Chain A
Amino acid sequence: MTKEKRQITIFLIFSFVLLVIPFSLRESYLLNVMVFIGIHTMLAVALNLLMGYAGQISLGHAAFFGMGAYISGIFTTRFGLDPWLVIIMAALCAAAIAFAMGFPILKLKGHYLAMATLGFGIIIYIIFNETVNWTGGPSGLSGIPNLKIGELVFDNDFHNYYLVWIITLGVMLLSINLSQSRIGRALRAVHDSEVAARVMGINAWVLKVQIFTVSAFISAMAGSLYAHTMTFVAPASFGFNFSVELVTMVVVGGLGSIYGSFLGAAILTTLPEFLRVFEDFDIIIYGLMLIVITMFMPGGLISGLQLLSQKFFLKFKAKADKGA
Chain B
Amino acid sequence: MPLRATHRDAGQATVLDLSGKITLGEGSALLRTTVRKLLDDQRTRILLNLADVDYIDSSGIGELVSAYTTVKGRGGELKLLHLTKKVHDLLQLTKLFTVFEVYSDESTALNSFQ
A and B bind: no
